[in-house]
Amino acid sequence: MVWELNLWGSEGSLSLRPEDRNIEETIRRLALINAVSYEGKARKDSVLGRLLAEKPDLRTRVKEILPLISRVVREVDGLSLEEQRTIVQEKWPEELRKEKREEERVLPPLPNVEEYEQVVTRFAPNPDCVLHMGSARAIVLCYEYAQMYDGRFILRFEDTDPRLKRSALEFVDLIREDLLWLGCKWDAEYIQSDRLTIYYEYADKIIRDGQAYVCTCLPKKFRDLVSMKRSCPCRDLTPSENLQRWNRMLDGTYDEGQAVVRVKTDLDHPNPAVRDWPALRIIDPKRHPHPRVGEKYRVWPLYNFACGVDDHLLGITHIIRGKEHLTNQERQEYLYRYLGWEYPEAIHYGRLKIVGASLSKSEILRGVKSGRYKSWDDPRLATFAALRRRGIMPEAVRQMMISVGPGPADIVLSWENLYAHNRKLIDPIARRFFFVQDPIRLVVRKAPEEFMVDIPLHPDRPKLGSRHFEVNLRNDEASLLISRKDLPIIKEEEVVRLMELFNFRADMFEKDTVLATFHSRSYEEARNLSAPLIHWIPDGTGLPCRVVMPDCSSLTGLVEDDLRGVRPGEVVQFERFGFVRVDKVNGRPVVYYAHR
Ligand SMILES: [Zn+2]
């Protein structure tokens, strides 16, 4: 487990309703199954996670159920592993096979949930870029946990740096759009640039109480002193002297760079970056107007101050974020102590790297600005906009992040992990079409008759209907288009099957044409000869189609005419080619390649 669980201690009295009788039985089943997977000792957190997944309506009654789980787990743990296994084998034999596998998909419980009225989580982006996969874990975990406990999920825009991490209104909208696409709808929204007077109020208070001061030292001088664990001269000024300085920050007497509010910390703190950290600073409003509030404010809170104040005031109970924020927690805890606040539960997960994906915001911004990337949804990017355009389902992102979970270990994933989740979702529903990349002609002689075939749009879902093809003959010749890429598998004198049509034997290869002879009709015949299968479209049909690949290159070919009836946005499968998202069907169709 990632954190210490101290929610199991109290036994409490349980007010089970008559209709809840089977809850205990469910818990016993889950505990037994879990114990068998973990050498005879059931994990209470896993049992709870599984229980809530099975019976979501119990999410509001977690407190009530915990003591019951404790008791049942104790009983189950009292049995020997042999006894546990016998019971499971008898009652739920299928569970012995699938338990370990399913375990990974359930989030572990949050710590100390019972200490709060309602679980409140937040996602707090700076609207200075669109969202990308680097944010997926924070979003999905915060949202899912809020759902799991029937809590609230808050969206907070942190736009308090109009100079270096300048936000833009455009991104506020794009981020909202990304969250809605992910299916993570927020219960409340805040924008920090609306809240400046709140930050001023708390700055005023801690300066007044002598817990913060206004430092006018040159940054280098301050750093040198603090690295030697020595205070700068400003630290020892009286609160009223500091309040005067604070007012000079606000009224424009000080210019940008001349003064900063610092929160007092232990000067012996082992990390020099924590010592007397900066809380608010001046940004010249004329040179750096804010995109939302313009030149209205000249003093802006820094990250730790604004975030710390807001997490408390907005009632956040569980902060779920990357472990690079551990130092920020140490900084903010001083502020919380001074203001008499309790620091929320904080869960810091490990780093997540996706091989081959640039998750650097600055690189994305630079690349789009310079024109190296065409837009936010350039397929080379790992932005949600790009994933969306390529036909990655939001559910695939969600599932991948739930399987990653909130653990502290560093994790490396590949695009293929995401594709595997996506494939599982779209393979059962994506309609199939033939796409002939780089077409060449196949002329088949001695065809016995004209062919009319109906090929299902999905092999397992007849209800989706089918596509109709007619292969006409001139004399006894059938003329078809096949992909030049299939040439290597067509060998002279050997039989090849045209999928769902007939089998032929290649006679001769000319430039852009394969001459062949009809062999037979049935699939069984092809199978007996181990004939390779290729796809095709009738000569004279097909729409010229452009496929945009993940590296932003393009492939061209002909796609069967029925693609015209597909709505843009739908993900379909080009058989033997891969899944694509249809981007445009009017004129010359354009599709974006997702994956195999
Ligand atoms: Zn100073």
User: Is 186 within 8 Å of 155 (Cβ atoms)?
Assistant: yes
Q: Give the tens place of pLDDT for each residue, 165-182.
A: 999 999 999 999 999 999
**CA 451 / ligand 1 centre spacing (Å):** 88
**CA 216 / ligand 1 centre spacing (Å):** 5
Distance CA 114, CA 406 (A): 19
pLDDT of residue 224: 97
**CA 220 / ligand 1 centre spacing (Å):** 10
**CA 196 / ligand 1 centre spacing (Å):** 24
User: Is 106 within 8 Å of 46 (Cβ atoms)?
Assistant: yes
- Sequence-separated (6 or more) residues with CB below 8 Å from residue 362: none
Give the model's confidence band at 97: pLDDT under 50 very low, under 70 low, under 90 confident, else very high.
low
**CA 280 / ligand 1 centre spacing (Å):** 14
Q: What is the mean pLDDT of residues 367-391?
A: 96
**CA 334 / ligand 1 centre spacing (Å):** 19
**CA 208 / ligand 1 centre spacing (Å):** 17
**CA 233 / ligand 1 centre spacing (Å):** 5
**CA 336 / ligand 1 centre spacing (Å):** 23
- To the question of pTM greater than 0.85 for the whole model, the response is no
Distance CA 501, CA 405 (A): 48
**CA 297 / ligand 1 centre spacing (Å):** 23
Q: Note the helical H segments in 285-393.
A: 303-313, 326-339, 361-370, 384-390
Give the model's confidence band at 281: pLDDT under 50 very low, under 70 low, under 90 confident, else very high.
very high
Bigger pLDDT: 304 vs 42: 304
SS3 readout for 148-193: HCCCEEEEEECCCCCCCCCCCHHHHHHHHHHHHHHCCCCCEEEEHH
pLDDT of residue 18: 62
- Sequence-separated (6 or more) residues with CB below 8 Å from residue 252: 298
Q: Which residues pair with 559 in a beta bridge?
A: 435, 543
Residue 1 has pLDDT above 50, yes or no: no
**CA 236 / ligand 1 centre spacing (Å):** 9
Residue 14 has pLDDT above 70, yes or no: no
**CA 342 / ligand 1 centre spacing (Å):** 29
**CA 438 / ligand 1 centre spacing (Å):** 70
Give the model's confidence band at 19: pLDDT under 50 very low, under 70 low, under 90 confident, else very high.
low
CB atoms inside a 10 Å sphere around CB 484: 14
Give the model's confidence band at 12: pLDDT under 50 very low, under 70 low, under 90 confident, else very high.
very low
Name which of 304, 529, 527, 545 is nearest 437 in CA terms: 545
Instruction: Tell me which DSSP letter residue 19 carries.
Output: G
Neighbour-count burial of 547, counting CB atoms closer than 10 A to its CB (0-12 exposed, 13-18 middle, 19+ buried): buried
pLDDT of residue 6: 38
**CA 192 / ligand 1 centre spacing (Å):** 27
**CA 267 / ligand 1 centre spacing (Å):** 13
Q: Tell me how many degrees the CA angle 238-241-247 measures, rounded to the nearest 5.
A: 140
Bigger pLDDT: 17 vs 467: 467
**CA 339 / ligand 1 centre spacing (Å):** 23
**CA 304 / ligand 1 centre spacing (Å):** 19
**CA 239 / ligand 1 centre spacing (Å):** 14
The fraction of the chain above a pLDDT of 70, given in percent, is 95
pLDDT of residue 251: 97
**CA 543 / ligand 1 centre spacing (Å):** 71
Q: What is the mean pLDDT of residues 443-453?
A: 96
Give the model's confidence band at 537: pLDDT under 50 very low, under 70 low, under 90 confident, else very high.
very high
**CA 328 / ligand 1 centre spacing (Å):** 22
**CA 95 / ligand 1 centre spacing (Å):** 65
**Whole-number average pLDDT of the chain:** 93
- Count CA within 13 A, CB hemisphere, residue 199: 27
**CA 215 / ligand 1 centre spacing (Å):** 4
**CA 544 / ligand 1 centre spacing (Å):** 69
**CA 262 / ligand 1 centre spacing (Å):** 9
pLDDT of residue 17: 65
**CA 273 / ligand 1 centre spacing (Å):** 15
Give the model's confidence band at 92: pLDDT under 50 very low, under 70 low, under 90 confident, else very high.
confident
Calculate the alpha carbon distances from 392 to 120, 400, 431, 579 in Å.
29, 12, 16, 10
**CA 234 / ligand 1 centre spacing (Å):** 4
Distance CA 506, CA 516 (A): 4
**CA 243 / ligand 1 centre spacing (Å):** 14
**CA 201 / ligand 1 centre spacing (Å):** 22
Tokens coding 371: 């024109």
CB atoms inside a 10 Å sphere around CB 154: 22
Q: What is the DSSP string of 476-499?
A: TEEEEEEEGGGGGG--BT-EEEET
**CA 186 / ligand 1 centre spacing (Å):** 41
- Sequence-separated (6 or more) residues with CB below 8 Å from residue 489: 496, 532, 534
Q: Is 554 helix (H, G, I), strand (E, B) or coil?
A: strand
Question: Residue 359: what residue type?
Answer: L
**CA 404 / ligand 1 centre spacing (Å):** 45
**CA 261 / ligand 1 centre spacing (Å):** 9
Comparing 2-11, 479-488, 507-516, which segment has the lowest mean pLDDT? 2-11
**CA 281 / ligand 1 centre spacing (Å):** 13
**CA 225 / ligand 1 centre spacing (Å):** 9
**CA 218 / ligand 1 centre spacing (Å):** 8
Question: Residue 353: what residue type?
Answer: K
**CA 219 / ligand 1 centre spacing (Å):** 8
